[in-house]
């Protein structure tokens, strides 16, 4: 027996909550649960934000996030391991018998970029409009490029 049945909520309301949890669209969930189009359009958002359906949905979402393998912390840990592994390098023997360490800088940079995005340290690209004329001084062009270059 589900929590909604214990809370004396009708089957149609329970269906609405389950559908909402599947795709996050309240209007669509109401239609799929069998509500009339006008009723779904008018009340679906209200149902998500009022008790007891609100509590049911929140508890189910928490339970669902706890069971996910790829949580935010897990992803961050994996990205850190990728950075460490990439920068540590891998020993390889070339055709002359010499042992060399190959460091994968690209993988490290890509993982660091993802970490920056996840942690909020990522700033979006800046786009500017610059009008250049054919007779413009080359030093002025270099100055503009230096001023607006993208830092990594």
* pLDDT classification of 137: cutoffs 50, 70, 90: confident
Sole residue written with tokens 């409009």? 129
Q: Is 106 or 122 the better-scoring residue by pLDDT?
A: 106
DSSP string, 62-94: HHHHHH-SS-HHHHHHHHHHHHHHHHH-EEEE-
Q: Which domains does the chain have, with CATH numbers?
A: 3-67 (1.10.10.1400), 72-119 (no CATH)
CA distance 45 to 35: 13
* pLDDT classification of 117: cutoffs 50, 70, 90: confident
CA distance 120 to 82: 19
What percentage of the chain has pLDDT greater than the value 90? 7
Measured over the CA atoms of residue 21, residue 22, residue 27 and residue 32, the dihedral's sign is negative
> Could you read off the pLDDT of 31-60 as tens digits, one per residue?
999 999 988 888 888 888 888 888 888 888
Read off the pLDDT of each residue in 16-40 and give the average, rounded to a whole number: 89
Stated as kind and residue range, the H or E segment containing 18 is helix 11-23
CA distance 12 to 76: 40
Stated as kind and residue range, the H or E segment containing 97 is none
- Mean pLDDT across the chain: 80
What is the DSSP-derived secondary structure letter of residue 25? -
What is the DSSP-derived secondary structure letter of residue 50? S
* pLDDT classification of 152: cutoffs 50, 70, 90: very low
Read off the pLDDT of each residue in 86-99 and give the average, rounded to a whole number: 85
């Amino acid at each position: 027996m589900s929590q909604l049945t214990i809370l004396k909520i009708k089957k149609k309301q329970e269906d609405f909550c389950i559908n909402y949890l599947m795709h996050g669209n309240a209007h669509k969930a109401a239609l799929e649960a069998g509500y009339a189009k006008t009723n779904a359009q008018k009340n679906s958002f209200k149902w998500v934000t009022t008790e007891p359906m609100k509590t049911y949905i929140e508890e189910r979402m928490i339970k669902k996030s706890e069971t996910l393998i790829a949580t935010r912390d897990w992803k961050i840990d994996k990205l850190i391991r990728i950075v460490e592994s990439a920068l540590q390098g891998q020993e390889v023997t070339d055709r002359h018998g010499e042992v060399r360490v190959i460091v994968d800088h690209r993988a490290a940079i890509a993982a660091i970029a993802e970490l920056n995005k996840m942690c909020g340290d990522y700033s979006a690209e800046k786009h500017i409009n610059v009008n250049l004329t054919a007779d413009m001084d080359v030093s002025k062009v270099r100055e503009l490029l230096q001023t607006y270059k993208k830092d990594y």
